[in-house]
Amino acid sequence: MENSRDQGRPGGRKSAGGKARRQSERLIMNAAERIFAVRGFSGATMEQIAAAAGVPKANIHYYFGTKKNLYQRLIRDICEEWLAAAQSFDDDVPLRALRGYIEAKMDQAWERPYGSRLWANEILAGAPFAAGYISAELHEWLLSRERIIGRWIVEGRIRPVEPRTLIYMIWASTQHYADFASQITLLNNGKALDKESFLAAKRSIADIVLNGLAPLSAKNSP
Amino acid sequence: MENSRDQGRPGGRKSAGGKARRQSERLIMNAAERIFAVRGFSGATMEQIAAAAGVPKANIHYYFGTKKNLYQRLIRDICEEWLAAAQSFDDDVPLRALRGYIEAKMDQAWERPYGSRLWANEILAGAPFAAGYISAELHEWLLSRERIIGRWIVEGRIRPVEPRTLIYMIWASTQHYADFASQITLLNNGKALDKESFLAAKRSIADIVLNGLAPLSAKNSP
DNA sequence: GTCTATAATCTGATAGAC
DNA sequence: GTCTATCAGATTATAGAC
């Protein structure tokens, strides 16, 4: 009656499993995200991850098979979450869409900084695992938003700027607060940025960008 | 007559040596910069660096002693070069100082992309080697420029923004073109950004930032 | 100074007891 | 499912011939 396909290494079923499995996987993935974010794929060791998760090394292999596999799961996870922020760029009022997007990206940098850093590390390494996702979903999203921004420019609703540069600026400026957190901390007398300073930065970034885009007419008078 | 302190491993003299030494060191450092930039300190291997430099592994140890030592030399080198760009933030006309600085940072991202990426990797890792430099020289520079920007605001020459956020935005936006080059390439149909697109991005970033800072009065009319 | 060979340690992965 | 013990290969560093 027992089906041997279903025990032992994962993969027998799609990726289901009891709550014990799910719980262990979550524990390991959280630890792995931190370690990979700091050391990169090749720099991280399974032992460091095991120690951070508080489990024996062998358990990680039991649940994820290989280091590569574990890493890929995280990349996929981060891509999926990224889509959430991407959706917030969707109002038809330029300044509202852009402010919403900037705020969503900043919230993400605050709430899941290690995800952002893992991504940065992956890109620095040449995007060996994320390339497919970038060329497909991300590229598509980028093109669609460029079209929207282009339309706003034609309609005179924002100042003429290169849409792509604008989007890169938003990515860079928001992710900076996660990716360069250790530098920011050192420049803040060794104290990590508190929530208030972070919120101030969020507003400030949005203000600079949005003022930079305000059309020549319709100046914002008090 | 011969002094044994002066042969064998470096360190006998400060860091002098014949042209052969200097040439070999330069060759190895260039290769190491590329490898460390992509894999990070712990992810890079001496063998990869040796292969990239086209020398036997043992030679690297002969010239630099340890991996750590080689890496530290690079960090120092990059810090020093960074100071050059920092100097360009020095005009008393706000828009000129800022545009000059943005352009200097962009030029650096173009000319020495691996230096920027190595730095990014170091920060992601928690700045274990660069911490001292960041807390001292970089912090000092940052404070001095914040004072200048603050003065401009008081004098009504630029819109009131958080000076630190502004500087972080400039760092992030310019370094993005070096650090995230692989992502940018993938989003550009697999072709690296050419010089023209890069120059366009440089102008575009400066435009957005500077427009974002233009004071409420004295609007730029045609 | 340059290079091959090798020592000492670390790392990903697995075996197999519980 | 969990954990200890361990293997095979990689990795930093050195020894020593040339």
Query: How far apart are the C-alpha atoms of A212 and A196, rounded to whole Å?
Result: 24
Which of A124, A161, A176 lies nearest to residue B117, judging by beta carbons?
A: A124
Closest nucleotide (C1' vs CA) to A59 is D2
Residue A24 to residue A135: CA distance in whole angstroms = 32
What number is the average pLDDT over the span B122-150? 98
- Closest residue in A to B165 (Cα) is A201
pLDDT, one tens digit per residue, over A97-121 is: 999 999 999 999 999 999 999 999 9
B201 and A43 within 8 Å at the Cβ level: the answer is: no
The rounded Cα A34 to chain-centroid distance in angstroms is 13
Condensed to tens digits (0 to 9), the pLDDT of residues A120-163 reads 999 999 999 999 999 999 999 999 999 999 999 999 999 999 99
Question: Which residue is the nearest neighbor of D15, CA to C1'?
Answer: B58
**Among candidate residues A206, A85, A202, the one with its CA nearest the CA of residue A145:** A85
How far apart CA B78 and CA B93 sit, in angstroms, is: 28
| C-alpha span between A152 and A160 (Å, rounded) | 9
pLDDT in tens, B18-76: 888 999 999 999 999 999 999 999 999 999 999 999 999 999 999 999 999 999 999 99
How many CB atoms are closer than 10 A to CB A168? 23
Residue B191, Ramachandran bin (φ over 0: left; ψ between -120 and 50: alpha; else beta): beta
Residue B51: per-residue pLDDT: 98
Q: How far is the CA of B45 from the C1' of C4 (A)?
A: 19
Do B101 and B44 meet the contact criterion of CB atoms below 8 Å apart? no
Among B42, B117, B208, the residue with its CB nearest the CB of A212 is B208
What pLDDT does residue B12 have?
44
State whether the Cα torsion A197-B174-A123-B39 is positive or negative: negative
pLDDT digits 0-9 by tens, A39-71: 999 999 999 999 999 999 999 999 999 999 999
pLDDT for residue A6 is more than 70? no
Asked whether strand C has any atom less than 7 Å from the CB of B24, the reply is: yes
